[in-house]
Amino acid sequence: MKFNTKTIHGGQSHDPAYGSVMPPIYQTSTYAQSTPGGHKGYEYSRTHNPTRNALENAFASIENGKFGLAFGSGLAAIDAVIKLLQPGDEVISTNDLYGGSYRLFTKIFEGFGIKFHFIGMENASEIESYVNANTKLIWVETPTNPMMNIIDIKAISTIAKKHQILLGVDNTFATPYLQQPLDLGADIVMHSATKYLGGHSDVVMGALVVKDKDLAERLYFIQNASGAVCGPQDSFLVLRGIKTLHIRMQRHCENGKVVAEYLANHSKIEKVYWPGFESHRNHKIAKDQMNDFGGMVSFTTKGNNYEDAIKIVEKFKYFTLAESLGGVESLSGHPASMTHASIPKEEREKTGVVDSLIRLSVGIEDIDDLIQDLEQAIG
């Protein structure tokens, strides 16, 4: 089954009761039993729910995995992964990381004795020097948020397997339409399904996908024991969103390319971050491991002035100033004061998240309207 068909049919079956084409929303917390333990596969909806199971099957299908897990948010999904570890374990993570992930790692799990190393991963060969006997996980974002750095998943997988370390990849920006980390050697794929998988800015959810049965069982135990699951209504919404992922992503990519090229040729723009440029440091890796370059674009204005950046995002009409990304509508953000505000200024500026940086989530509107919006806002 090819990808475009998987988004619609992957892991799905018609409802056995009445032949419903879409899985019904099983809005129930519990299930009748004929005798203690005698049930039809479901006993309590924190553990299993038919609507959520249909979604988890879809997650597994589109990522070429075997087991999918749905959580109440992307951070809840990451939280479950870190709970695989023990005090004294160490994690190597990219230094250009979503601010919420950084906050979870440093403000929560460091307090439980887990050590994190935040390093540049654009050159995979430099990672091995940080590996020691306590290293249990390498955590990767690619493309990274918001600097659009590209990390070689296959090369890092080679290092991880050599040292028997788990490799987790946050695939939120790329989506499985563009990139499938499990096929490149990753052990765990994570999504903030709030973003492109849901695609309509109307739900908050996280996802994990794995191939290994033992790893899946450990994560299912954590999911059930910790209880950070999503409800059936949200499951239905994301399942609906996945069915149009392929056509939405095609337009996101088309519009993102035009926006990136427009900004690159604008006299008031200092630098544009988009992996589709041949000048991008790891463009070749992006071209090899991705099917296209996505709809996320970041840029800085000349002079690197905070006030100029704020004026631009406040003037946008179609690029709505808001948290999040990946919806059908275009969004803009100021990472230094929004998504990455939890990262100390000195640390975030080392990675390029300066006060003049603006991040765009390019939607699927008519591209002429988006370019006109950029023109009027930037001047």
Q: Which of 195, 211, 248, 359 is catalytic?
A: 195
Q: What is the pLDDT of residue 348?
A: 85
Give the list of residues 6+ apart from residue 225 with CB closer than 8 angstroms, or none.
Answer: none
Domain spans, the chain = 3-242, 246-378
Region of residue 202 (left: phi > 0; alpha: psi -120 to 50; beta: else): alpha
User: Do residues 54 and 11 lie in contact, with contact meaning Cβ atoms separated by under 8 Å?
Assistant: yes
Virtual CA dihedral for 48, 50, 51, 53, nearest 10 degrees?
60
**Distance from C-alpha of 128 to C-alpha of 147, rounded to nearest angstrom:** 23
Q: Any catalytic annotation for residue 46?
A: yes
Cα 115 from chain centre? 23
Give the list of residues 6+ apart from residue 127 with CB closer than 8 angstroms, or none.
Answer: 92, 119, 121, 138, 156, 159
Q: What is the pLDDT of residue 150?
A: 98
Any alpha helices (H) in the chain, and if so which ranges?
3-9, 50-62, 74-82, 99-103, 153-162, 175-178, 213-226, 232-242, 245-264, 283-289, 306-315, 345-350, 367-378
Q: Any catalytic annotation for residue 251?
A: no
Is CATH 3.30.465.10 correct for 3-242?
Answer: no
Q: What is the pLDDT of residue 340?
A: 85
Give the list of residues 6+ apart from residue 214 with CB closer than 8 angstroms, or none.
Answer: none
Q: What is the pLDDT of residue 40?
A: 87
Give the predicted TM-score (pTM) of the model. Answer: 0.96
Q: Are strands 331-333 and 357-361 parallel, antiparallel or unpaired?
A: antiparallel
pLDDT digits (tens, 9 = 90+) for 271-296: 999 999 999 999 999 999 999 999 99
Q: Any catalytic annotation for residue 103?
A: no
Q: What is the pLDDT of residue 50?
A: 96
**Distance from C-alpha of 334 to C-alpha of 316, rounded to nearest angstrom:** 13
Give the list of residues 6+ apart from residue 167 with CB closer than 8 angstroms, or none.
Answer: 137, 138, 140, 153, 156, 157, 160, 185, 186, 187, 188
Q: Which helix (H) or strand (E) holds 92?
A: strand 90-94
Q: Any catalytic annotation for residue 170?
A: yes
Q: Which of 15, 31, 42, 46 is catalytic?
A: 46
Question: Which of the four CATH numbers 3.40.50.10320, 3.90.1170.50, 3.90.1150.10, 3.40.50.10090 does domain 246-378 have?
Answer: 3.90.1150.10
End-to-end CA distance of the chain: 48
Phi, psi of 241 (to 5 degrees): -65, -40
User: Do residues 68 and 239 lie in contact, with contact meaning Cβ atoms separated by under 8 Å?
Assistant: no
Q: Which of 79, 96, 152, 170 is catalytic?
A: 170
Q: Which of 52, 96, 98, 257 is catalytic?
A: 98
Q: Would the CATH topology of 3-242 be identical to that of 246-378?
A: no
Q: pLDDT below 70 — which residues of the chain?
A: none
